[in-house]
């Protein structure tokens, strides 16, 4: 269908996994096994970020190679982290980034209480 210039489809620039404001949350990926929730504090460069995890530890986390181009994290994003088997208290992998609607759903259900109750000295 022909559209005059300037009247393009508004959803054209939307990524498939990206939700718009006001959309309902149907499925939220929950931590399984050793996975934990975290908040990105800062980006360190080279695909690494400092993440404050729900178990009270701060880890240097990286985005694995298979997800590197598909997963863009920014400070204050809620992410799913899998600690490494070796050096798991200090390092981990970022497996998933929650959208704003999914993060609000997690807050309402009380899954993020451990992250927000931590006090820094």
Q: In terms of Cα–Cα distance, which of 18, 14, 11 is closest to 71?
A: 18
Q: Is residue 87 domain-resident?
A: yes
Q: How far apart are CA 75 and CA 71, in angstroms?
A: 13
CATH number at residue 39: 2.40.50.140
What's the CA gap between 118 and 88, in Å, rounded? 20
Q: What is the mean pLDDT of residues 51-69?
A: 85
In a domain, 13, yes or no: no
Instruction: Please count the structural domains in the chain.
Output: 1
Does residue 48 register a pLDDT over 60?
A: yes
List the domain range (segments joined by +) for residue 40. 30-117
pTM over cut 0.85: no
Q: Average pLDDT for residues 69-87, to the nearest whole number?
A: 86
């Amino acid at each position: 269908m022909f559209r005059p210039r300037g009247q393009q489809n508004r959803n054209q620039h939307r990524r498939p996994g990206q939700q718009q404001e006001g959309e309902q949350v149907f499925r939220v990926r929950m931590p399984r096994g050793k996975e934990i929730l975290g908040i990105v504090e800062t980006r360190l460069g080279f695909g690494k970020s400092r993440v404050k995890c729900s178990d009270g530890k701060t880890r240097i986390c990286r985005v694995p190679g298979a997800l590197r181009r598909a997963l863009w994290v920014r400070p204050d994003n809620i992410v799913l982290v899998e600690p490494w088997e070796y050096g798991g208290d200090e390092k981990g992998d970022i497996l998933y980034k929650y959208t704003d609607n999914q993060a609000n759903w997690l807050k309402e259900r009380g899954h993020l209480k451990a992250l927000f109750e931590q006090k820094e000295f």
